[in-house]
Amino acid sequence: MALLQISEPGQSAAPHQHKLAVGIDLGTTNSLVATVRSGMSTVLQDAHGHGLLPSVVRYAPDGKVIVGHEAQAQLSADPTNTIASVKRFMGRSLHDIADRAHIPYRFVEDDSAKKQVQLQTRAGLKTPVEISAEILNALKKRAENALGGELTGAVITVPAYFDDAQRQATKDAARLAGLNVLRLLNEPTAAAVAYGLDNNAEGIFVIYDLGGGTFDVSILKLTKGVFEVLATNGDSALGGDDFDHRIYCWVLDKVRETSKNFSPLNEEDTRLLLTKARQAKEWLTDNFEAQIVCKLSNGTMVDVTLTATQFVELTQHLVTKTLSPTRKAMRDAQLDITDIKGVVLVGGATRMPQVRHAVEEYFQQTPLTNLDPDKVVALGAAIQANALVGNRSDSDLLLLDVTPLSLGLETMGGLVEKIIPRNSTLPVARAQDFTTYKDGQTAMSIQVVQGERELVADCRSLARFELRGIPPMAAGAARIRVTFTVDADGLLSVSAREQTSGVEANIVVKPSYGLSEDEITRMLKDSFSGAEQDKHARMLTEARVNAGAIIQSITQALKVDGDLISTADKQAIETEIERLKATSQAGDADAINKAVDALNHSTEAFAQARMNASVAKALAGKNLEDIQL
C-alpha cells in the first residue's frame, strides 16, 4: 500500500505551474540540497540514499573530478589533490589563512592585485571558488535527477558573519556551477525559517550555529511568519575543524613523548592524523573514550587513547570562544537572558556534549534539538526558494535579515566613516554627504571598507573608485553625496554624485578576493570546453564500440561463407577491416565512422551472395505448389 502526501487547497501548484527550486547548504564539512514537495521541505538523496554530501573534491589522475564520499575516502592517500573544508578559504588571501603548516595543501598566492589564495593540484591551480563550484554542481545534478527537470533557481546559505568578499565568492561559485541564485540566505535565518514554520513558533529565539568551519549566532524575533533578525555576530574562522586540530596537536605531543627521533609529518601523515582526530571527536559524542591507532609513513605507530574528560579540557577555550560573540549579539539586540524563548542548535559540531552543556548553562534553558542540526539549514533554504519562485500561494513568509559588519569609506587621515552600521535590516540604502579637502579639487578617490574598527588599516578594503569632473571650488564648497546600497543577498553597490554639477560615479563592489567578469567568463568557457571534450569522448567511444561489433560480425561471416565470393573481393573486405582497426586506434570519431561506411560498402556483394545462398537453401527440395501454399 502506497502512502500519499496530500496538500491543503492552494498549497501545491498544478504540475505544469510548479517551478523547480531548491535550497542548498554549502557547508564546510557536508553539503545538502533540499526542496519542497507537497508543502513539505525535504532533503534530496543520492542513488545510495545519502542526504549529506561530504564537501570534498578530488582531482584524480585520469582527469576526472570526484566529489563526495568517494573523494573523502582518498583524503589520506592523496591529500594534496583531495580538498576538504574549502569553505574556509573562500574570499581569502594567503595572509588570511592562519597556521598553514597543519593544512596539507600546496597554497599559491595569485600574483595579480586580487591576492586570492590558490591551491596547486594535479589539475593545475584551483581557486576555492572553482572547487566550491564542483560541490554545487554535484548538488545541482542530484536535484535535477531527483526532480526530473531543470532548476529554476536556488537559495544558497552562507554564514551570517561572512563578509562581502566571502559572499561574492559564494555567488561566483554558484554561477560557475550553472545555478541561478535566487538569494544568498544567512544560515541562522534559514534554520529559523525551518524551525519556526515547523513548530509555528513565535517569540525571540537564538540560533547558535557551530558548523565545520564557521560559527554564527543570530537573534530573531518570530511573529506570525515574519522573521526579523535583531542582531548577529560570530567568527568565520571557528568551527568543528578547530576541535579536530586540537586533538591532532594532542596526538602529536603524545607521539613525540614516546618517539625520540620523531620527524616532521609529510602531507599524507598530516591528513591521516586529522582524519583520525575527526573520527575520535565524533566517537566521543556518545562514548567515554576513543582510541586513535594508525601507522605513519616513517613506520611510527600511533596508539593513544583520548577520554571524554581530556577532550573537554583540550577544547574548553574553543567552546568559551563561541560565547563572546553570543554576548555581543545579546548586547546589540538589547536583550536579557530572560527574554529568550528558545535556543536552536544548528551545525554538526553542536552534537558535542560540552557545546550543548555550555549553551544550556549560559541561556539557563535546554536547547531545542528536535530538528536535525545537519539538515535544518537546507530545509529552511528550500522553503525560502519555494516562496521566491512563486510556488507558495500565500504570502505569510517575510524575512528581515541584517548585514553582519559595518560598511563605510575612508576619510582623511585613514579614518573610517561608517555609512551602514552592522545589524542594519536588509535590503538597505544609506547616503551621506562629503566635501573636498583642497581648493580647486576636481577628483575624489573613494575607498570602500568593511569592519568595526576606526582605522582603515584595521578593516577590510572592498573596493576603490574615483569621482572625476568635480567643478573647481574652494575647499569645503562641493557637496558629494555617497550612497551605499546593500541588496537582500548582502552584496554592496556604492555611488557618488556631486550635487551641483550632477557628475556621478558608481561601482558594484567586487571585493579584492572576488572574481572579475573576465575570470568568470573564462571559467565558464573552460567548463563549456570540458563539456565539449566529454561529448567528443563519448562519440569516440561509441564509434569504436560500433566498429568493433561490425569487424567481429564480418570476420565471423567470412569464416563461414567466404567461399561465396571471389578471392579478390575477399581480400578487398579484409583490407577494409584492417584499415578500420587502424583507424579505431586514433582519436577521430568521424574517421572511424567513414571507415565503417567504407567497410559496409565493400561487403555489399558479399551480403548479396549470402542472401542468395540463404534463399536457395530455404527453397531446396520444394516445388512451386509447396511455396504457394
Q: What is the rounded distance in angstroms from the CA atom of residue 207 to the CA atom of residue 232?
A: 9
Q: State the Cα–Cα distance between residues 310 and 372, nearest whole angstrom.
A: 27
Distance of CA 98 to the CA centre of its chain: 22
Among residues 46, 163, 172, 187, the one annotated as catalytic is: 187
Helices (H), 368-469: 376-388
Give start and end residues of each alpha helix (H) in 231-367. 240-258, 267-283, 308-332, 353-363
Catalytic residue (one of 134, 209, 244, 576): 209
Q: What's the CA angle centered on 371, arms 154 and 152, to 5 degrees?
A: 10
Residue 158 to residue 173: CA distance in whole angstroms: 12
3-state helix, strand, coil split of the chain in percent (to 5) is 40, 25, 35
Burial of 369 (0-12, 13-18, 19+ CB in 10 A): middle
For residues 157 and 192, the answer to whether their CB atoms sit within 8 Å is: no
Beta bridge partners of 154: 22, 181
C-alpha cell at 593: 565512422
Query: Active site residue: 25, 78, 163, 269, which one?
Result: 25
- The four Cα atoms 238, 239, 240, 244 give a dihedral, to 10 degrees, of -10
Cell, residue 554: 564480418
Per-residue exposure over 158-169, b if at least 16 CB sit within 10 Å of its own CB, e if not: bbbbbbbbbbbb
Could you tell me the strand order of the sheet in which 443-450 lies?
415-420, 407-411, 443-450, 460-468
Buried residues in 314-325 as b, exposed as e (16+ CB within 10 A): ebeebbeebeeb
Beta strand 117-121 pairing with 124-126:
antiparallel
In the residue annotation, 87 being an active-site residue is answered as yes
Q: What is the β-pairing status of strands 153-158 and 181-186?
A: parallel
What gap in Å lies between CA 521 and CA 514, rounded to an integer?
13
Spatial distance between the Cα atoms of 558 and 545, rounded to a whole number of angstroms: 20
- C-alpha dihedral sign at 563, 568, 573, 579: positive
Residue 334: all three cell numbers together:
538589547
63: left (phi over 0), alpha (psi -120 to 50) or beta: left
* Grid cell locating 194: 525551518
- Would residue 25 show up in a list of annotated catalytic residues for this protein? yes
- Concerning whether 374 is annotated as a catalytic residue, the answer is no
Catalytic residue among 46, 78, 87, 241: 87
Cα separation of 196 and 205, whole Å? Answer: 10
Write the CB contacts of 98 (distance below 8 Å, at least 6 apart in sequence). 237
Give Cα separations from 597 to 124, 214, 393, 439, 518 (angstroms). Answer: 41, 61, 58, 83, 45
CA-to-CA distance for 118 and 110, rounded, in angstroms? Answer: 7
SS3 state of residue 617: helix
Strand partners, 345: 208
Annotated catalytic residues are 25, 87, 187, 209
